[in-house]
Amino acid sequence: MLARPMRSIVHRLLSRPLRLPAMFGPKPQPGDPQIFRFNSEREEIITEVVRRTEEHFAADPKRLLYALNEAGHAEIRRLAGQGDAEADLALGSWRRLVKRLGKMSHEERSDSLRSISRVMVEDIAGNFDPRVYNLSARLIPGVLTAVMNPMGLPTQLLAGGFSQLDALISAEGPIDKLRRLAQIGTLVLVPTHSSNLDSVALGYVLLRANLPPVVYGAGRNLFSNPLISFFMHNLGAYRVDRRVSAAVYKEALKTYSCLMVERGYHSLFFPGGTRSRSGTIERRLKLGLAGTAVEAFSRNQTNGLHRPVFFVPATLNYALVLEAETLIEDHLKGAGQARYIIDDDEFSRIDRIYAFMTKLVTLRSALVVRFGDAMDPFCNPVDDEGRSIAPSGQPVDPGSYVRRRGVPSVDPARDAGYTRELGDAIARVYQRETVIIWTQLVAHVLYRYLVWSTPELDLFSRQRRRGEVAMPREQLVREVADARDRLLQAEAEGRVHVGPVLRSQSPERIVSEALSAWRDYHTKVVATEVGDDVLIEDPNLLLFYQNRLLPWAEELATEETLAAARSIVNQGGKA
Amino acid sequence: MSAPPVGIVGGGNFGWGLAHAVERAGREALLWSRRPQRTGTEHIDLVSGPAALAACELIFFAVPSPYVASIARELGAHLDGGHFLVHISRGVVGDDLHGLTQVLRSETPCRRVGALAGPLVAEALITGGPSGGVVASRFPEVRAAVREAIGGPLLRLYSTDDVTGAEFASTAVGLFATAIGFAQGHGLGPAAQAMLATRAMAEAARIGVVLGGKHETFMGLAGFGDLLAAVAGDERPELAIGRAIAENQPFEAIGSIGGTYFEGLESAGRIAAYTRRVKLHSPVITLCAGAFAREIPASEAVAALMSREVGEE
């Protein structure tokens, strides 16, 4: 077995998730979500993931040898680059393994694979402590309110609630139905991904809506803060180390997430993979780990367990995005080669989180979470009883999709086909369930003006036009009003949603608040008022916020601005 | 367990061709058509309604594209997720140029769907002459089921998971075959026809890639392979329609040559509108749309094609 590297106490504290002692923990009650039973099942789950991972590779001696070699070389490459004491120890183990591999028997190689995958799965596996859950249920609103607005805390406590937070984050969609479906089957939440705050915000929304907690894979970098790590780890998050590229690790991770859904743990996946760099709504989804929920359904059917799986698309619509500056910069730099892992963005800086929160709390509906209707793994809508509904309006047996000539089976190639279809279907729901927020609309109108004023420029030349183009404020207000009317028309046709502030406030106020929100949060000046004009200072952030409106850009335009809107749409496709 | 019968929707030449191919492969075929026109055989049963096709696993759709949605809706009420649907129609739907597999998915509960494309002709299917094609599906089991149902030593079926590419290539070939007929009608020789075919296919591939398809699909059986068969004279109606347009024959007369005229007219218009919208360069298809709809006089269309600026290939 590979030796576990020694770690200092400090390092352990910083990198290993803390848990409360298991003694005197509450016993799960009937009707509690499956996750309340996690700790009693944890060892069983880890053992099963290790068994399946071994089965996947060890059935074929050549495959096993290749997998061990590939893992060894990938880890040696990674750890050599990491260059710290911890890496050096692990490096030695991997080097010894690679050296011995050629002389090992098949059984010895299987043993090594088992040991390696065991270490990996132990690192992945989460934890769930009902005490932490109950504690956070009581604390989160207070903590968040305190962080966001300490002066407001006594008032909130005296008033007996946290209405400020309620006003800050609003949740829309068929929530009652989701509550019912959670009792019938396994929910798989598949939201858009804009910020590292998404999972925290969603967790809060689920708690407030009396929906069950979900398990989800969180990037290892999110565990670097011991306090956040403590809560995440004890609330069902499992660790995903994106630096590890070994196929054995990926297989173990996939198997873990599959097994969680298989066992009825409500789950959360971001099917876009990473945060949207450009600010656009994700259009082509690979699904990644979310695809394992399809396999989980097939496995259960094959084992005679007919527990439904419900995919629930959701959109998270922020007035301000914490990491906007880093994300759009990364997008423009890379345009296709953007960094997969960003570990130096605003999320890693407490001062930026604080600035963000303090600004956010002054806004009403700073985040609108909108749930779409649930669908089965085969893109069929489901009714209130959780039955899959065919286009004819009749129920259809979801088990029929994994049967061939009456026999259910687990077929990865087939399930990959379903997963692709599901990705397309979720992307369509994203567009329909997007909630347009006032900052996005103001950004769009300003950016459209910039494009209108500089028709001869390409994207990158235009993004350099800082402080050169000013839009008359009166025209900005007028165009925002007109674009809002057009959005409301699209909403009436069921093609998009309009956020509460954008719907209810005057265009004049919407413009003022957008300028103020950007000014108070972003380190870069987005746009400033100069006399009767609004001067465009940072086209990058405008591009980021307005990109959310790309699918509707043409219909929001007047005859005069149509060419600019088309140019934005085409540019959006390329950049 | 014996293999279930293979369903066929549509009693035209292609429907019967598929039924005979199924029969040759040693399977039972159930053919449903409102106007079957012919009588069944020992292994080809004519069924009177869609319910009977529920006994099949694989069902072919061999009906003109405008009828696919309504027939799929009627049939869909009798099917579930265990059925495989494969169409052979050319055509795109909606502003975003979706293929007909999308129609099958939205009108039925079936998800394991696919398309049969390439130089397959009804005559070869009926007689069993050497032929081939490509079966496109995201599901390997659908591709295998089609090969099992109709494939054989003389019917070579290749497969791809690029459904978007295969469906769009198939639609584009229909248009280009018409365009070549049109060029022939204007007396353009083989070199001009080859130039038209090559540039047109490059254009289709560009659009196909934007739609999510693969470039190589257009260079394979679903694209060039199919177009070569049309030019080689496999008697498909599109060439005759193209020549009739070149001769300025009235709409009705052209329509009577084959329903594909109206399908082509609609598809060309949709594709031209799409490329305008997303700013893709599509001179051949835009001219096809204009010429088919008689918005551009035939002589002007030929002149416009030949006078385009020459660039890098």
Which H, E and C letters describe A235-304, residue by residue? ECEEEECCCCCCHHHHHHHHHHHHHHHHCCCCEECCCCCCCCCCCCCCCCCCCHHHHHHHHHHHHHHHCC
Q: What is the mean pLDDT of chain B?
A: 89
pLDDT reading at B224 higher than 90: yes
**B111 vs A403, A418, A570: nearest CB:** A418
CATH number at residue B122: 3.40.50.720
The reply to whether A380 touches chain B by the CB within 8 Å rule is yes
pLDDT at B72 > cutoff 90: yes
Q: Note whether B81 and A401 are within 8 A (CB).
A: yes
Average model confidence (pLDDT) across chain A: 85
Domain count, chain B: 2
What pLDDT is attached to residue A140?
61
Pairing verdict, β A533-536 and A469-472: antiparallel
Please report which confidence band the pLDDT of residue A408 belongs to, taking 50, 70 and 90 as the band edges: very high
A218 touches chain B (CB under 8 A): no
More confident call, A292 vs A347: A292
Residues B156 and B16 both lie in one domain: yes
Q: Does B140 touch chain A (CB under 8 A)?
A: yes
CB contact under 8 Å between B140 and A405, yes or no, is no
- Tell me whether residue B37 is in a domain: yes
A16 falls in which pLDDT band (50, 70, 90)?
low
**Mean pLDDT over residues A113-133, rounded?**
85
Interface confidence (ipTM) of the complex: 0.90
Res B125 pLDDT > 70: yes
**Structural domain contains residue B1:** no
Same domain, B250 and B195: yes
In the predicted structure, residue A151 carries a pLDDT above the cut 50: no
Residue B138: inside a domain: yes
In the listed set B161, B178, B209, which residue is the last one of a domain according to the structure? B161
Band (pLDDT 50/70/90 cuts) for residue A158 is: very low
Residue A265's pLDDT band, with cuts at 50, 70 and 90, is: very high
Single out the residue in B129, B161, B193 at which a domain terminates. Answer: B161
Q: Kindly state whether residues B152 and B21 are assigned to the same domain.
A: yes
Is the pLDDT reported for residue A308 higher than 80? Answer: yes
Can you give the pLDDT at residue A311? 97
DSSP state of B308: S
Of B77, B111, B138, the CB nearest to A401: B111
**Average pLDDT of span A50-70:** 94
CB-based contact (8 Å) between A404 and chain B? Answer: yes
The CATH number that applies at residue B228 is 1.10.1040.10
Percent of chain A topping pLDDT 90: 54
Q: SS3 of A216, please? A: strand
Q: What is the DSSP letter of A335?
A: S
Lowest mean pLDDT among A128-132, B106-110, B209-213, B244-248: A128-132
| Domain annotation covers residue B185 | yes
Residue A138: predicted pLDDT? 65
Pick from B113, B141, B161: which residue ends a domain?
A: B161
Res. A74: pLDDT tops 60? yes
A400 interaction partners in chain B (CB closer than 8 Å): 80-82, 109
Listed by number, the residues of chain B in 149-178 with a beta carbon closer than 8 Å to a beta carbon of chain A are 161
Same domain, B55 and B168: no
Judged against a pLDDT cut of 60, whether residue A8 lies above it is answered with no
Residue B218 lies in a domain: yes
Which CB contacts under 8 angstroms, 24+ apart, belong to B200-206? B200/B172, B200/B175, B200/B176, B200/B284, B200/B285, B201/B172, B201/B176, B201/B227, B202/B313, B203/B281, B203/B282, B203/B283, B203/B284, B203/B285, B204/B168, B204/B169, B204/B172, B204/B176, B204/B285, B206/B280, B206/B281, B206/B282
pLDDT computed for residue A150 by the predictor: 40
B311 located within any domain: no
Residue A439 and residue A514 in contact, taking contact as beta carbons nearer than 8 Å:
yes
Q: Does B206 touch chain A (CB under 8 A)?
A: no
Comparing A28 with A11, which gets the higher pLDDT?
A28
Which pLDDT belongs to residue B1?
Answer: 56
B95 and B201 inside one domain? no
Residue B51's pLDDT band (boundaries 50, 70, 90)? very high
- Residue B26's domain comprises 6-161
Pick the most confident of A81-85, B107-111, B264-268: B107-111
Are B34 and B136 in a shared domain? yes
Question: Does B139 lie in the same domain as B40?
Answer: yes
**Confidence check: pLDDT of A147 > 50:** no
Same domain? For B53 and B131 the reply is: yes
